[in-house]
Structure 1
Amino acid sequence: MQATTIDEVISFLDAIIEENKQIPSTMGYFAALYQKVTCKVKEGIENHFFDDNPRMERLDVIFANRYLQAYTDFKNGATPSKSWVAAFDEADNYWFIVLQHLLLGMNAHINLDLGIAAAEVMKGKNIEDLKDDFDKINVILGELVHDVEKELSIIWTTLAKIIKVTEKFDTILIDFSMKLARDGAWKYATLLANSPETTWPQLITERDEKVTRKVQIVINPGFFIKILLKIIRLEERGTIKTRIEILEKD
């Protein structure tokens, strides 16, 4: 399951989404969100939003293929990166809320895979030439934050009331998915790009271990937050299948 175009990426993600609706499995949550992001990136490419649109498609494909490979490996009993194993291993955790499953996927894909993909697409070139287009992805993600809030509010109706009186949920999503994670991904991309290629396997292994440790923030957020998350989990509406369908809505 390796794509060569952004259309193939979307097709593979569609297949993963449908597969996990049928199982059903919470692994479909991240796939549904990722498919939506990919469609937005495709729209940006078609509208010449980026400085180098063909390059952005190559980046998108390289980036997505890391997730597709990790997913395929895990399903086939092989071992993907530790950070993806940590995310996939929690798919059957009944007490995890939808947002936790999304954050685990985002942790592995943004904190590990994105930097590697950026370095790969700029191999032999100046990584700084990619920076403006890399930052433009933040614009696309920012536009999706409110969509994700709306979808999660359908699943957990109390969230809609919370959003009316606080902007903290915005802050959590934006900080995790963009400001902190993507800033870290860019620093890691520049580290790889400026290092001899022979050192990449070791640098990737070290990064993977560091990213895997970050999983504990989501898995073990503390006693009181765990209690709160369990309450939210009991209030979440719908089946796994219907939640996936909510997350993939435009």
Structure 2
Amino acid sequence: MDSIEQVILRMDDIVDQCKRDHLRAGYFAVLYRFVTIRIKQCIENGDFDDSARMERLDAIFAQRFFDAFDGHYNNRGEPVTESWKHAFNSAESGDYVIMQHLFLGINAHINLDLGIAAAETMQGQNMDEIWNDYDKVNGILSSLVEQVKSNIGRVSLLFGPMIRLANGRDEMLIDFSILTARDGAWLFACRYAKASDKNLEIQNRDRVIAALARKLTNTGKTLTFLIGIIRWGEFRTLPSELDRLAGILD
């Protein structure tokens, strides 16, 4: 996969599959599709330091999601990392709300995949040269997540009222920090770029990020109870939920 147009077309296919097969992994796929569209617009506007390099990063980055999705749902590709496995398994359980599914996808893709993609894009060159563009990608993602948070009532009617009842115990849902993920992923990218055993570096990082994923779903009794109520208030037909989420992001 060489171009960002090809990435968007593949994202369209995945969103369509999620609608057809009623896969909750589609929540993250919808968000990620819009991130990619924004990146494409920024490339066309010349907003990145190096547009060609940014397109290469986007393709490498996206391929890691495609490989994980195909490995889990379509029985092809490389073995799925523990971070993605937890995100996909959680998507199949039906016990979690839309924001949790989004954060689980972000956790795997930013905290693990982005650092790998950045290092592989640079191919041994100075990692500092890509920092500005790397940071802009995270800024795009962060702005779209804030857009979802601000308008989540259009998809999840009870999310706002119920989460306020959590009385400070909502950190894993509301305060999942894109900036923290960005900084941790950057440190990992720099370590990975210098690592002699890159597979071992990925395995070690994957264990840490999978543990964070488990924290995102093991929310404690009070928040778990409220999440159950929130889920009942979310629209019951998955394709319509995905369309409404896309409407928030468009």
Q: TM-score, normalised by structure 1?
A: 0.89
Amino acid at match of 1:73: G
CA–CA distance in structure 2, aligned partners of residues 174 and 132 of structure 1: 26
| Matched letter for residue 51 of structure 2 | N
2:114–2:185 contact (8 Å) kept in structure 1? yes
What secondary structure does 1:90 align onto? helix
Q: 1:244 to 1:200 in 2, by over 3 A?
A: same
The aligned residue for residue 97 of structure 1 is 97
Aligned to 2:149: 149
**Corresponding letter in the other structure for 2:227:** L
Corresponding residue SS for 2:201 = helix
CA change 1:174–1:60 in 2 (3 A) is farther
Q: 2:39 is matched by which residue type in structure 1?
A: V
1:60 equivalent among 53, 58, 61: 58
* CA offsets 1:58-103 (integer angstroms, 9 cap, x no match): 0010000000011111123353111111111122212211111111
8 Å contact from structure 1 (residues 81, 208) kept in 2: yes
CA distance in 2, matches of 1:94, 1:142: 25
- Alignment match, 1:51: 49
Rounded to whole Å, the distance in 2 between the matches of 1:21 and 1:244 is 8
Match of 2:224 in 1: 226
Inter-CA distance 12–24: structure 2 relative to 1 (3 Å threshold): same
Determine the structure 1 residue equivalent to 2:243.
245
Q: Distance in 1 between matches of 2:6 and 2:173?
A: 28
Cα drift, residue 124 of structure 1: 1.9
Cα deviation for residue 45 of structure 1 reads: 0.5
Contact 2:30 2:245 in 1 (8 A): yes
C-alpha contact 1:5 1:61 (8 A) present in aligned 2: yes
Residue 237 of structure 1 aligns with an amino acid whose one-letter code is F
Q: How does 1:99-138 map to 2 (within 5 A)?
A: 99-138=99-138
Taking the aligned partners of 1:187 and 1:76, their CA distance within structure 2 comes to 32
Query: What residue is the counterpart of 2:203 in the other structure?
Result: 205
Deviations 1:17-45 (A, max 9, x none): 01111111111111101001100011000
C-alpha deviation, 1:237, in angstroms:
2.3
Q: Is the 8 A contact 1:106 1:177 kept in 2?
A: no
1:242 and 1:12 map into 2 onto residues whose CA distance is 21
Amino acid corresponding to residue 236 of structure 1 in structure 2? E
Q: RMSD of the alignment, in Å?
A: 2.2
In the alignment, the residues of structure 2 paired with residue 238 and residue 149 of structure 1 have an alpha-carbon distance, to the nearest angstrom, of 19
Query: Deviation of residue 8 (structure 1)?
Result: 0.6
Q: How far 1:173 sits from its partner (Å)?
A: 7.5
Sort the Cα spacing of 1:75 and 1:234 in 2 relative to 1 into closer, same or farther, 3 A: same
Asked if the contact 1:110/1:177 (under 8 Å) is kept, the reply is: no
Q: Look up the equivalent residue of 1:96 and give its one-letter code.
A: Y
- In structure 2, distance between residues paired with 1:145 and 1:105: 12
Unaligned residue ranges in structure 1 (runs of 5+): none
- The alignment of Structure 1 onto Structure 2 pairs a total of residues equal to 241
> Which one-letter code corresponds to 2:226 in the other structure?
L
Matched residue SS, 1:176: coil
Amino acid at match of 1:17: V
Mapped to 2, the partners of 1:74 and 1:39 lie a distance apart of 25
TM-score, with structure 2 as normaliser: 0.89
Match of 2:27 among 20, 26, 29: 29
- Percent pairwise identity: 40
